[in-house]
Structure 1
């Protein structure tokens, strides 16, 4: 399945790029499930990000590898792909894009995911959608002028 969330922010794309840090990553996490950041190398090809999701009765590890990154005069992007995923996911590819839009930017979360079962994909879609919609006001606040 594919999920795309777009957020317009006031800062130029180079400033937004510099803001994609470990601190931002922590601010973007919704209250549930609580996340403990185990490793954050950055957003360049070869970097690893590892989290522990706490579902109260059990914990799940999520490890992603940054498989690609790039930049043009109009865009900066990186792609993370799931290497070790929670039991409810079997595939994860997240294309993070920051596009130049006049004096501001547009942040695009373009996500492809699959669960072990097609029905579960449809059940996960609104849950993941809400998780990423949670980021919109955070992005707007953090990247305001």
Structure 2
């Protein structure tokens, strides 16, 4: 299953990428489930990110590894892939693209995921879509609308 969300912001793409740090990561976390950041190495190959999701009655750990990083005249991008996922996910690949658009930037969240059961993919899609839609106003506030 794949979902893709793009947000246009005012800052130049290199400046936007420079803002992809631990503070931004925390701001991008939606109110539910509450997220505790356990580790944030950065956005380059072999960096790791680990979080704990608190679903009130249970907690789940999510760990991702940065497996690709590209930087050229048109965009900066990196890919995080899930190495330890919550029970409701079997596969996770998130391609973060920070794309030059004149003096502005498109931030693209391009996500491929699978759940343990094919039909559950369709049930998870709206929940994940809303989780990433939550990022749009955060990106605009941080990097300018």
Counterpart for residue 32 of structure 2: 32
1:82 maps onto 2:56 in alignment: no
Counterpart for residue 7 of structure 1: 7
Per-residue Cα deviation, 1:6-53 (whole angstroms, up to 9, x for no partner):
000000001101000000000000000000000000000000000000
CA RMSD, 1 decimal: 0.7
Q: Distance in 1 between matches of 2:41 and 2:95?
A: 17
Q: Distance in 1 between matches of 2:67 and 2:102?
A: 29
TM-score relative to the length of structure 2:
0.99
Counterpart for residue 124 of structure 2: 124
Q: Distance in 2 between matches of 1:55 and 1:119?
A: 22
Runs of 4+ aligned residues of structure 1 deviating over 3 Å after TM superposition are none
Aligned-residue offset at 1:88? 0.2
Aligned pairs, number: 145
Q: Distance in 1 between matches of 2:14 and 2:47?
A: 20
Counterpart for residue 109 of structure 1: 109
Q: For structure 1, list consecutive stretches of 5 or more residues without a partner in the other structure.
A: none
Q: Distance in 1 between matches of 2:38 and 2:14?
A: 27
Counterpart for residue 44 of structure 1: 44
Q: For structure 2, list consecutive stretches of 5 or more residues without a partner in the other structure.
A: none
